[in-house]
Structure 1
């Protein structure tokens, strides 16, 4: 490998290796068994070393949740707080797992994990539901997390009904809970790839199938995950790249031709030499002279991969700017979008926040709260404010124009993160309409 490659570029060198990997998260209500499930996947797929297993022993038994709950506060409270990532591989697939917290207080961490996931496994704890009732109601956090992964365009959603080993009639419980999930998904427009009965604690239907248990004869959860597609890169859209790092005049003339190199991850489209680009917000134009991949090989780079771009002339480009195809939509100062509100302070009209778009920060003012989504009835209700963990529709006015696109077309250009100007807490995630 080229010794002159900077640490910032080396951080992205795993792009190609992870291209076929499935990035998935586990989510759902608190104490539904998410950390235990991941621990079971790691142990039964033989992805855990013996010394790691020895380190999670409690009273002579293995506490699988401790394989992912690594923070001292998590171990003390017995809950997941931050997103813990783990890596493992089977004979057929590589996986990057994100263990998302289920507690309402940490919904912002779940949203962060879901925004880059290819799939979501939503756990449902059978012991918390009136499983003998065919018309049972799902937990609010189960509904909220399912709606969030749907709004965030996570391509594949799988429901895992957990702890069926702890109920008297697993088959009846599975049938009734699966029916409630089907009703909810139909109303919310969610397409579930599979609904699998599992016991994370005992390992039923997690890695290997347990034929006939709970009346289920389908694939195990791991077999379902191995069959899921990775998220397709948004290569059909016009080219867009948020500039993350500017490499000042390198001495390596053979790769940068003595000009600055603009590094970032291609958000949409493909970049190749000879194509014109427009710099946002300055509006200057140039032509791509050379495109480098993460190890400085000259080649075309498509969406989802990092690239270094050398332009044919010197233009003013800084971190936070966007390089866009000329046909990309014009920048706008007014944005309407669906928002997941994550802050303790309610969202009200007139409040100003920092908005992060790619790597660019601008001030944003809330012009109007249009409505709030009732997660129980899925009805859109008139609202003047949004409380923590609410999902709604807002209109924003930006201090400077941003080159946004509808989130349904492009995840990265179509999303904004709102940050409180005083506390610097992540306040909300906006999906542009």
Structure 2
């Protein structure tokens, strides 16, 4: 260990986008304090990106340039490769695999890659005796990976949940504050740079699903299983729904849940109505908040910026320091052969209350017919009629559904939609008690 701590930790960065560039800046600007915390010198020796001529506002004097990011993994003067390229496979995955095979530790912010190949990459890192660190992949500036893996290790965890995507939270916050509809606020979020060019991953819940799958594996000790995550996004949420949520004493949030049930691990991402006096309801804008329920510690709240160049680069550097200190731990808390293959708990068996908005043809007896459909599926509800609907001979019905099994409610919704052929105005939001 003494010999290790006397050697400079040599770092290479693959990818100089916003996160990669900010990581370079922080490594340069705070080199002295970073080396002090690392217990030995930390030096950036090489970088790689698509264009060498692009002006990134970086001083790269004395730092080698590689046109091919794979070359970083082959260098004898590199100890750690930071993969900040992005993408679930392709070049990013190739760089990580090559670095591991070459005996180099890896730091990555790539949640998509880990969600799809996390168990496989963890096994490779373990077999090669190197570290694969990913604090930046989940909630960026919130040190949630280290908190769950190390700080809460004495606890049996039962549930992890929260706001995992700042873009969606910003959109829902702006809709609540302004009364504007989804598309208008989405356009604003794009102008402000809160979304990627294609916002699908954010607003359809995929980004949150990636992060949740990693945190679930870490919290409960199972192999990563992104396909087991039930995902719904926020495209269908309208100003009408936001207004009714306020009227009923709720806020709408896109939440992710990973929880133990009697029939397996349930992983889900979807819009929720939560009481507006709860902590999670008060998390606004681009901020994330994750709550972990532990047997001994109870509920712990982890709050902060879940995206952005600064918070993500901060997490990358924290991993570099951990590697410098020799604090290697299994990627998902346990050796890969100790991780169990989780059984997916069936979402349709979940029971809770629901908010339901549905469009129907305005004709005699339609309300009675809808009530009968609900009753036949053992679903009871309160009814609120919303008449401000810009289509002739149509009206909107808004219900609060008492606690029911989701499978039965979905059957009732299908019957109602088939009667009216108006699925585009059918919205179901779960009401969760936190």
TM-score by length of 2: 0.28
What TM-score comes out, normalization by structure 1 length? 0.28
Question: RCO (CA 8 Å, sep 6+): is it higher in 1 or 2?
Answer: 2
The structure where helix makes up a greater share of residues is: 2
